């Protein structure tokens, strides 16, 4: 979707591309945004709250971790609901902080890319100092949820540290490595670890992290964590194909830039490995039919359809499959875990601690 290539874009694609820019950083004021003061709008756009797809992408792995830990521990429903509410609040502030931070660092590059040049910082609606202050306030808001987690406060802070480091580094990943999607996948998938912590679980323990003396790893959680990294890598690589021409021109790195016409081959390999990891998670957790049918089968089928049908040469197609594909796959995994948890509790009842 470059300026030089506009004559090759069909009218319906132009309309779709306008909608993409309109929703993700464009200076728009529709729907519930029309009720807000004008001075608030750039910050809502900076945080990607309209629509809140970024928040959902951050929250999904937390839900995976909560439900998986609830299955392993046969936790009571009130505990699951409390942990879910806690992680939703934390995810809201994390989403605001990391989107603002990413736009702050990326502002010089965003100004050179057609789809992102109307974001608040490049167009001058938010200054760099204001964006930094907003980022800091939202990061503090997210940090305030850490003491509410079970276990020792210092352990919870140390568990959250890899995610903090990853999110801080992520805007530079697209300058330093051809695999920024893996960095993003790690940051998002860490929500599984924090979701497990919110349920009182220890997905791993080593040194001062953990209550036991020996190192420990919950391998089913590790499989779910790795599968989530691959899921993010798949949909974000498709997302990156929207800006492929501009990214090549300005020097932004990504798996889309690295693989280009070979991207679909990569996506099929990632999907195969992801499905194997989801199966391994189910086997190690001794899950039953509902998980395998809905979580493994649903996610594999929806992502397979996405890889087969997406046209990586079309920004319209990439946007549609990104914006819908993550819902199909993430919803399948969450629904499969929820059905497994519900079935387990109905048949056996929660364990008492």
pLDDT 10s digits, 103-115: 999 999 888 887 7
Phi then psi dihedrals of residue 273, to 5 deg: -70, -40
Residue-level pLDDT at 155: 86
Residue reference for tokens 């942990």? 83
What pLDDT score does 330 carry?
Answer: 95
**CA of residue 327 relative to chain centroid, distance:** 11
C-alpha distances out from residue 165 to 56, 97, 100, 159, Å: 21, 13, 16, 11
Indicate if the pLDDT at residue 15 is higher than 80.
no
Q: Does the pTM of the predicted model rise above 0.75?
A: yes
Chain centroid to CA 124? 27
Residue 350: per-residue pLDDT: 55
Q: What was the pLDDT predicted at 11?
A: 32
What local confidence, expressed as pLDDT, does residue 18 receive? 46
Q: Is the pLDDT of residue 76 over 90?
A: yes
Determine contact, residues 237/254, Cβ cutoff 8 Å. yes
Q: Are 122 and 107 in contact (CB under 8 A)?
A: yes
pLDDT at site 336: 97
For residues 238 and 321, is the Cβ–Cβ distance under 8 A?
A: yes
DSSP secondary structure letter of residue 217: E
For residues 144 and 141, what is the distance between their CA atoms, to the nearest angstrom?
A: 5
DSSP-assigned letter for residue 291 = I
pLDDT tens string 235-245:
999 999 988 88
Question: What sign does the CA torsion over 334, 48, 32, 321 have?
Answer: negative
Assess contact for 16 and 319: CB atoms under 8 A: yes
Q: Which residue has the higher pLDDT, 312 or 204?
A: 312
The confidence score (pLDDT) of residue 324 equals 85
Q: For the chain, what is the mean pLDDT?
A: 87
* C-alpha to C-alpha distance for 64 and 12, rounded to whole angstroms: 37
Instruction: With a cut of 60, say whether residue 25 has pLDDT above it.
Output: no
Chain segment 171-191, per-residue pLDDT in tens: 999 999 999 999 999 999 999
CA distances from 200 to 65, 98, 205, 339 (A): 11, 26, 13, 21
Is residue 125 within 8 Å of residue 27, measured between CB atoms?
yes
Residue 119: pLDDT band by 50, 70, 90 thresholds?
confident
Three-class DSSP category at 300: helix
- Alpha-carbon distance 347 to 86, whole Å? 27
Contact 254, 173 (CB under 8 A): no
Mean pLDDT of 253-282: 96
Per-residue pLDDT, 207: 61
C-alpha angle with apex 61: 58 to 66, nearest 5 degrees? 125
Task: Decide if 208 contacts 158 (C-beta within 8 A).
Answer: yes
- pLDDT for 272 beyond 70: yes
Query: Does 299 or 40 have the greater pLDDT score?
Result: 299
Give the residue carrying structure tokens 């945080």: 47
Q: What percent of the chain has pLDDT over 70?
A: 87
- Mean pLDDT of the 129-152 span: 93
Q: Tens of pLDDT along 50-63?
A: 778 889 999 999 99
Cα–Cα distances (Å) from 233 to 181, 214, 268, 305, in that order, read 5, 33, 12, 16
Q: In this structure, what token pair is assigned to residue 84?
A: 């879910």
Residue 171: partners with Cβ closer than 8 Å, 6 or more residues away: 101, 102, 104, 105, 106
Half-sphere exposure of 75 (CA within 13 A, CB side): 23
Check pLDDT > 70 for residue 7: no
Give the orientation angle of helix 180-198 with respect to helix 153-176, to 10 degrees. Answer: 170
Nearest one of 21, 18, 50, 54 to 35, comparing CA atoms: 50
The alpha carbon dihedral of 267, 268, 270, 271 has a sign of positive
Q: Is the pLDDT of residue 229 over 60?
A: yes
- Higher-confidence position of 351 and 150: 150
pLDDT, residue 14, reads 44
What the block records as the tokens of 101 is: 């931070």
The count of other CB atoms within 10 Å of the CB of residue 206 is: 11
Specify the pLDDT at position 213.
64
């Amino acid at each position: 979707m470059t300026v030089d290539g506009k004559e090759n874009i069909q009218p319906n694609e132009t309309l779709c591309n306008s909608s993409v820019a309109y929703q993700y950083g464009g200076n728009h004021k529709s729907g519930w945004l029309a009720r807000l003061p004008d001075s608030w709008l750039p910050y809502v756009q900076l945080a990607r709250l309209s629509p809140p797809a970024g928040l959902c992408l951050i929250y999904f792995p937390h839900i995976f971790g909560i439900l998986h830990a609830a299955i392993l521990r046969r936790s009571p429903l009130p505990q699951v609901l409390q942990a879910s509410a806690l992680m939703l609040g934390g995810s809201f502030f994390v989403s605001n902080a990391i989107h603002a931070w990413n736009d702050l660092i990326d502002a010089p590059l965003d100004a050179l890319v057609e789809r992102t040049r109307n974001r608040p910082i490049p167009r001058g609606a938010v200054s760099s100092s204001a964006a930094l202050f907003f980022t800091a306030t939202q990061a503090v808001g997210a940090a305030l949820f850490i003491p509410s987690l079970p276990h020792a406060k210092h352990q919870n802070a140390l568990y959250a540290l890899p995610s903090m480091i990853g999110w801080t580094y992520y805007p530079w990943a697209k300058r330093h490595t051809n695999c920024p999607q893996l960095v993003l996948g790690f940051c998002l998938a860490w929500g599984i670890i924090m979701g497990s912590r919110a349920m009182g679980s220890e997905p791993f323990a080593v040194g001062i992290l953990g209550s036991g003396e020996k190192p420990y790893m919950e391998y089913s959680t590790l499989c779910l964590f790795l599968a989530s990294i691959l899921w993010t890598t798949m949909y974000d690589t498709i997302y990156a194909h929207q800006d492929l021409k501009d990214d090549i021109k300005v020097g932004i790195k990504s798996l889309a830039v690295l693989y280009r016409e070979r991207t679909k081959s990569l996506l099929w390999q990632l999907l195969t490995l992801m499905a194997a990891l989801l199966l391994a998670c189910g086997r190690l957790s001794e899950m039953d039919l509902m998980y395998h049918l809905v979580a493994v089968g649903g996610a594999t089928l929806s992502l397979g359809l996405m890889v087969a049908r997406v046209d990586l040469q079309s920004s319209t197609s990439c946007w549609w499959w990104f914006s819908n594909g993550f819902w199909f796959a993430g919803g399948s995994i969450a629904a499969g875990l929820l059905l497994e948890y519900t079935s387990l509790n109905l048949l056996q009842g929660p364990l008492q601690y």
